[in-house]
Amino acid sequence: MADDDDFMKPEDAEKAIARAMTKTPQVSAVRTKLQKLVEEDDKGLQMLAAAIRRMLHEG
Give the tens place of pLDDT for each residue, 19-56: 877 777 677 777 788 778 777 777 877 887 888 888 88
Q: What pLDDT does residue 2 have? A: 47
Maximum CA extent, the chain = 38
| Whole-angstrom distance, CA of residue 57 vs CA of residue 19 | 13
Residue 5: predicted pLDDT? 57
Pairwise pLDDT comparison (31 vs 14), residue with the higher score = 14
Residues 3-9: contacts with CB under 8 Å, at least 24 apart: 7/49, 8/49, 8/52, 8/53
pTM of the model: 0.39
